[in-house]
Amino acid sequence: MDTNLQQSQKLEHGLSLTPAQQRSLEILQKPVIELQKFLEEQLAQNPMLEIEEFQQQQKPQSIGENPDDIDDYDDNSDTSELSQSDTDNFQQKHDFILNSEPDSIHLGEKLINEARIDAPTKSVADAFESLVEQLDSRGFLPVEAIDVSIEQGFKRDDVLKALEMLQTCEPYGIGARSLQECFLIQLRANGLSESLAYRIIEDYFQLFIKRKVNDIAQAEGRSIDAVEKALETIAKLNSSPAHEYTVNEENILIPDINYYKQDGIWCAELTNNYIPQLRINSEYRFMIAEGSLNKDALSYLKEKMRDAKNIIDAIKQRQTTLLKIANAILKRQQNYFENAILQPMTRQQIADDIQLHPTTIGRAISGKNAQTPFGVIELKNFFTNSLETEQGNEVSSNTIKEKISDIVSNENPQKPLSDDKIAKMLETEGITIARRTVAKYRDELGIPSKTMRKRF
């Protein structure tokens, strides 16, 4: 039985859901932009989540992984592979796709405009622009950024001055070449260069990553509570400072589904470019497997890994469910895509077609849109009420409304038709409909009553 069907049946019977099922329902209901925002938040909050990097990575030597230590998790994305640099792998965790969005506010232009005003010389301003061009979607510079700028013909002193300028720009953390440097920049900007939090990041960054609170406390001669408070300060830092530079996405209508014609055949595809490919952080999986963590850190990471797994699985389930629904709609609404005529279609019919519960269909289409040949429409608008003709054929409520509108537009304005008369006219076309239903549809169309329509 399908997971979504089981979930819906549990809800129908008032049974409790597991955390995994709760995540699945939560993610299923999110339109693509809401899901993007949600995943950005989860990437910032859950260290076990990272973006799938589309590049070859070296496999580590055998480490004797204990399946019990990693909950037998396999996300089919080569999570057992480690990057050559643990730090580089960690700092790439939030690398999102903002640079590919045409509606992003261009952070680079903002920074360059500031540099043209504040730079001491034109050569420094030009070097500054060279660095800005190397920023990734997080606002980070590659480790070799200085050398790249020098190879482009800029003087080393100018590049270093430009880097110093860049790292004092807002949002703080811009121009960092590692997550460690990003955090140090932000702490300095907030006047915390003498704080315990700053020393932890500067001197004990690897211990911080492994969350070895006891080791940090012992090395600093401080209490566990003091270290925990410092870690709370660090947790508030922004690991991806450029993420805030996007437009107000509430005003952007991004369809979840795109319908298009290819070689004479209508096709459906999901809008996936706003949803990152996620996987379990391989560095932390390695730490869990090698048994180097203390009890608290191990418990914390295992909990985060379970939630990360639930999120990854829920996204896959959402995409699978939504694509099934999209194709089922396409199959039943061919006349719409060819001629803009909607056919009667209910959630129950789609549910039967793809063996899901109607409640699941309702959750999946809620708030979502589709790009069609006739513009972007809400998925719910594909589903119409219907009446049956005398011949046993179904007629959608939209079709009936169109007929009512045509009848009224062709009536004699001095002798407008009553709702009862309209119902009888529809009956001659084989559509049996009550007078009150005609009145309801007329109101929904914004057509006044017979008395109000009369012209003298």
Does pLDDT of 332 surpass 50?
A: yes
Does pLDDT of 257 surpass 90?
A: yes
Percent of the chain's residues with pLDDT above 90:
30
Residue showing tokens 């990041």: 201
pLDDT of residue 91: 41
Does pLDDT of 17 surpass 70?
A: yes
Containing 317, the helix (H) or strand (E) segment is helix 295-332
Higher pLDDT, 430 or 352: 352
Percent of the chain's residues with pLDDT above 70:
79
CB 254 within 8 A of CB 32: yes
Does pLDDT of 414 surpass 70?
A: yes
299 by Cβ neighbours in 10 Å (0-12 / 13-18 / 19+) ranks as exposed
pLDDT of residue 329: 95
Containing 378, the helix (H) or strand (E) segment is strand 375-378
Burial code (b: 16+ CB inside 10 Å, e: under 16) for 79-112 equals: bbbbbeebbebbbbbbbbebeebeeeeebbeebb
Higher pLDDT, 263 or 321: 321
Q: What is the DSSP string of 247-274?
A: --GGG----SEEEEEETTEEEEEE--TT
pLDDT of residue 100: 36
Higher pLDDT, 116 or 358: 358
pLDDT of residue 64: 33
pLDDT of residue 227: 92
Q: Average pLDDT, stretch 383-395? A: 59
Does pLDDT of 171 surpass 70?
A: yes
When pLDDT is cut at 50, 70 and 90, the band that residue 431 belongs to is: confident
pLDDT of residue 63: 29
Higher pLDDT, 139 or 384: 139
Average model confidence (pLDDT) across the chain: 79
Q: How far is CA 274 from the centre of its chain?
A: 6
3-state secondary structure of 389: strand
Question: What is the phi-psi region of residue 207: left when phi exceeds 0, alpha when psi lies from -120 to 50, beta otherwise?
Answer: alpha
pLDDT of residue 393: 55
pLDDT of residue 371: 86
Mind listing the pLDDT tens digit for each residue in 182-220? Answer: 999 999 999 999 999 999 999 998 888 777 889 999 999
The pairing of beta strand 369-372 with beta strand 257-262: parallel
- Alpha-helical regions (H) of 333-434: 334-339, 347-354, 358-365, 397-409, 419-427
Rounded Cα gap, residues 172 and 164, in angstroms: 12
Q: What is the DSSP string of 106-164?
A: -HHHHHHHHHHHH-SSHHHHHHHHHHHTT--TTSPPPTTHHHHHHHTT--HHHHHHHHH
Higher pLDDT, 432 or 13: 432
Neighbours of 325 (CB within 10 A): 25
* Residue among 89, 88, 108 at smallest CA distance from 98: 108
CA angle 38, 40, 44 (to 5 degrees): 115
* Residue among 53, 90, 84, 50 at smallest CA distance from 205: 90
pLDDT of residue 242: 80
CB 163 within 8 A of CB 146: yes
Please name the residues in contact with 217: beta carbons below 8 A apart, sequence gap of 6 or more. Answer: 223, 224, 226, 227
When pLDDT is cut at 50, 70 and 90, the band that residue 68 belongs to is: very low
CB 356 within 8 A of CB 321: yes
pLDDT of residue 29: 92
Most confident of 44-53, 55-64, 216-225: 216-225
pLDDT of residue 383: 84
pLDDT of residue 348: 87
pLDDT of residue 152: 86
pLDDT of residue 183: 93
Rounded Cα gap, residues 383 and 373, in angstroms: 18
Question: What is the phi-psi region of residue 215: left when phi exceeds 0, alpha when psi lies from -120 to 50, beta otherwise?
Answer: alpha
- Please name each of the domains of the chain with its CATH number: 3-100+247-320 (no CATH), 395-453 (1.10.10.60)
Does pLDDT of 104 surpass 60?
A: no
Q: Where are the beta strands (DSSP E) in 188-326?
A: 257-262, 265-270, 278-280
Does pLDDT of 420 surpass 70?
A: yes
When pLDDT is cut at 50, 70 and 90, the band that residue 33 belongs to is: confident
CB 379 within 8 A of CB 389: no
pLDDT of residue 189: 92
When pLDDT is cut at 50, 70 and 90, the band that residue 95 belongs to is: very low
Structure tokens at 164: 């110093």
Mind listing the pLDDT tens digit for each residue in 276-331? Answer: 889 998 888 888 888 778 888 888 889 999 999 999 999 999 999 999 999 999 99
What are the Cα distances from residue 327, in Å, to 38, 257, 334, 340, 378? 26, 10, 11, 17, 15
Rounded Cα gap, residues 120 and 260, in angstroms: 54
